[in-house]
Amino acid sequence: MAVKTLEGLSFRRVASILSELGFKASYGAVSDWFHAVGELFSETIRCRRGFIAINDTVVWNLVKRAYLWAAREIRSGDVVAIRVSRGRGIAECFSDIWTSCAL
């Protein structure tokens, strides 16, 4: 579940990773487990978050510039959201970061 949530992997890929580790699990079983239990864990993790700090940095790609935004939980230092935008206005990325960090 944590692998699927954090890395954005498919259920088939998670089942493949589990089989490489010696566990027998079909992608259907991974999907069923994720939908039954995964949301409970994500809500628990979100409820335990403290203050969130948002930081930006400039990233250059030869000619163009972009802004890399990172939202971090202050107490633990965990990165809870990352976004790249063309403009520096926080309104461009705030909605995406807010949905990732919202209780």
pLDDT (tens digit per residue) in 67-89: 777 777 777 777 777 777 777 77
What's the chain's average pLDDT? 70
Mean pLDDT of 45-58: 70
Residue 40: pLDDT band by 50, 70, 90 thresholds?
low
pLDDT value at position 34? Answer: 74
- Taking CA atoms, 79 is separated from 19, 21, 62, 63, 84, in Å, by 29, 27, 27, 28, 14
Contact 72, 91 (CB under 8 A): no
What's the whole-model pTM score? 0.44
